[in-house]
Structure 1
Amino acid sequence: MTRGRKLQILLGIPAVLLLFVFLILPLTGMVEMSFRTSGTNAPYGDGFTTSHYVRVLGDSFFMTTLLRSLVTAAIVTALCLIVSYPLAWHLSKARGGKALLLYACIASPLMTGVLVRNFGWMIVTAIDGPLNASLIGLGLISRPLRLLFTQGLVIMALVHVFVPFMVLPINNALRNINPALSEASLSLGAGRVSTFLRIILPLSFPGIQPGVILVFVLSVAAYVTPALLGGQMVNLMPTLIIRELTGTFAWPFGSTLAIVMSVATLSIVICFSLLTAKLMERVRA
């Protein structure tokens, strides 16, 4: 074994250890816990069973909640993409102080604590909050709207915080596009819309794909925002999981819910990656 090969192995050991300790071990423990029997005086029993999976997969309530979580995540991802692409476009063209200002504005949701940010949404959207007061004052509505504890508010709040995770990879992809390609297209008679759809948009897909996957996974697993802004009126899978794990201390059943949600999310991510693999290969070629 060469010296360079030994150095590569030594440098890779910390990463492997981190993955093993913080990913593989917890996931293995979660899978094992999902097959444990329910305990009477303890969070779990000594035996093993598949009844938890039968219960989850056979109960329409849990399947509906899972579907609602996945659909909510898909809507959040789509809205983030719609909002983020123009921001990433302007950010990729900005230089100097303007670029720093745009970076600060885009990253601002991440600079505020999750509790502070969500309590801000609660204050703004309350029945007697400033948003309803402004709409009534402008004559747009006659009575206050119930915005708090709705799925729409949860989606809006998630879009607000996850936009930076979509903007930054798209911005990097747009910056890597050679400006000469657009100039050549325009000089050959193609319009700006045609140039964007045929050149810019496909070449920016290496930023769109990871941004979509990242935002989708984060949206499915989001807990604090749906719990605070959705309350008991919006049931999503993470809130059910935490309720089982910490509320009733039903660790095996809560672990089963987590595994089912993870498998469903991973399946969607794999399907999306396979469907977009050819486009990624064409762009990289």
Structure 2
Amino acid sequence: MTAKTRLRLLLSVPAIVLIFVFMILPITNMIEMSFRTPGTSEPFGPDYTGMHYTRILGDGYYWGVLARSLLTAGLVTVLCLIVSFPIAWHLSRARGLKAVLLYACIVSPLMTGVLVRNFGWMIVTALNGPLNETLMALGIIERPLRLLFTQGLVVLALVHVFVPFMVLPINNALRNIPESLTEASASMGASRMQVFRDIILPLSFPGIQPGMILVYVLAVAAYVTPALLGGQMVSVMPTLIVGELTGTFQWPFGSALAITLSVSTVIVVVTFTMLTSKLMERAKA
């Protein structure tokens, strides 16, 4: 073994330790916990069983909550993409002070704690909050709208939180598109829509794909926003899992729910990656 190889192995040790301690070990413990029997005086029993997965797969309620979680994350991802692409386009073309100001506006939601942001939404959308009072003063509505504890508000708040995670990777991809390509296409008679469809959109996909995957994974695992803004009216898997782990102290069943959500998310992400692999190859060609 050469000195260069030993140095590489030595430098890789911290990364291997971090991956083992913070990823492999917790996931292994959660999988093992999901097969534990329910405890009487403790959160789990000494034996092992597969009854928790049988209960989840055999109950339509958990299928419905899982489907709602996955579909909500998908809707949040699509809305983030629609909102983020124009922002990323302007950001990629901005220079100097304008670019700095745009970056500051985009990352500003990340500088505020998630609890503060959610309490802000709660104040704005309350029955006697500023939004309802403004709409009533303008004569648009006659009575206050119940916006709090609804699925729509949860989706809107999650989009507000996760837009920066979509804008930044798309911005990087757009910055790598040579302006000469768009200028050459325009000089040859291509319309703006044709330039966008045939050049800008395909070449920006290396930023779109990771942005969508990142936002989807974050949205499907979001707990604080659905718990505060959805309450008991909006059931998603993360709130259900936390309720089992900390509310009823059913650690094995809560772990089984978490593993079910994780496996479902992996399946969705892998399927999306496979379906979009040709677009990635086209962008790299």
Please, what TM-score do these two structures have when normalized by structure 2?
Answer: 0.99
Task: Map Cα deviations across residues 80-105 of structure 1 (whole Å, 9 max, x no partner).
Answer: 00000000000000111111110110
Aligned-pair distance for 1:2? 3.1
Q: Distance in 2 between matches of 1:42 and 1:244?
A: 14
| Secondary structure at 1:235 match in 2 | coil
Are residue 57 (structure 1) and residue 53 (structure 2) matched?
Answer: no
Q: Distance in 2 between matches of 1:282 and 1:87?
A: 24
| Secondary structure at 2:280 match in 1 | helix
Q: Distance in 1 between matches of 2:230 and 2:220?
A: 14
Task: Indicate the residue corresponding to 1:193 in structure 2.
Answer: 193
Matched to 2:74, the amino acid is A
Q: Identify the range of structure 1 (218-227 vs 188-197) with the bigger mean alpha-carbon deviation.
A: 188-197
Aligned-pair distance for 1:140? 0.7
Task: Indicate the residue corresponding to 2:160 in structure 1.
Answer: 160
Alignment of 1:1-285 (within 5 A): 1-285=1-285
Aligned-pair distance for 1:188? 1.2
Aligned-pair distance for 1:78? 0.4
Gaps of 5+ in 1: none
Aligned-pair distance for 1:16? 1.3
| Secondary structure at 1:37 match in 2 | strand
Q: Distance in 2 between matches of 1:77 and 1:45?
A: 39
Aligned-pair distance for 1:4? 2.7
Task: Map Cα deviations across residues 197-238 of structure 1 (whole Å, 9 max, x no partner).
Answer: 000000000000000000000000000000000000000000
Task: Map Cα deviations across residues 85-127 of structure 1 (whole Å, 9 max, x no partner).
Answer: 0000000001111111101101111111111110000000000
| Secondary structure at 1:72 match in 2 | helix
| Secondary structure at 2:37 match in 1 | coil
Aligned-pair identity in percent equals 69
Q: Distance in 2 between matches of 1:156 and 1:216?
A: 14
Q: Distance in 2 between matches of 1:30 and 1:180?
A: 52
Task: Map Cα deviations across residues 235-275 of structure 1 (whole Å, 9 max, x no partner).
Answer: 00000000000000000000000000000000000000011
Q: Distance in 1 between matches of 2:208 and 2:3?
A: 39
Task: Map Cα deviations across residues 163-217 of structure 1 (whole Å, 9 max, x no partner).
Answer: 0000000000000111111111111111111011000000000000000000000
Q: Distance in 2 between matches of 1:218 and 1:18?
A: 21
Q: Distance in 2 between matches of 1:252 and 1:45?
A: 9
Q: Distance in 2 between matches of 1:56 and 1:214?
A: 27
Matched to 1:123, the amino acid is I
Q: Distance in 2 between matches of 1:201 and 1:212?
A: 14
Task: Map Cα deviations across residues 108-164 of structure 1 (whole Å, 9 max, x no partner).
Answer: 111111111100000000000000000001111111000000000000000000000
User: How many residues of Structure 1 are paired with residues of Structure 2 in the alignment?
Assistant: 285
Aligned-pair distance for 1:11? 1.8
Give the CA RMSD over aligned residues: 0.7
Q: Distance in 2 between matches of 1:269 and 1:253?
A: 24
Aligned-pair distance for 1:8? 2.2
Aligned-pair distance for 1:6? 2.4
| Secondary structure at 1:67 match in 2 | helix
Aligned-pair distance for 1:66? 0.3
Q: Distance in 2 between matches of 1:205 and 1:141?
A: 42
Aligned-pair distance for 1:15? 1.1
| Secondary structure at 2:201 match in 1 | helix
Aligned-pair distance for 1:12? 1.7
Task: Map Cα deviations across residues 27-64 of structure 1 (whole Å, 9 max, x no partner).
Answer: 00000000000000000000000000000011000000
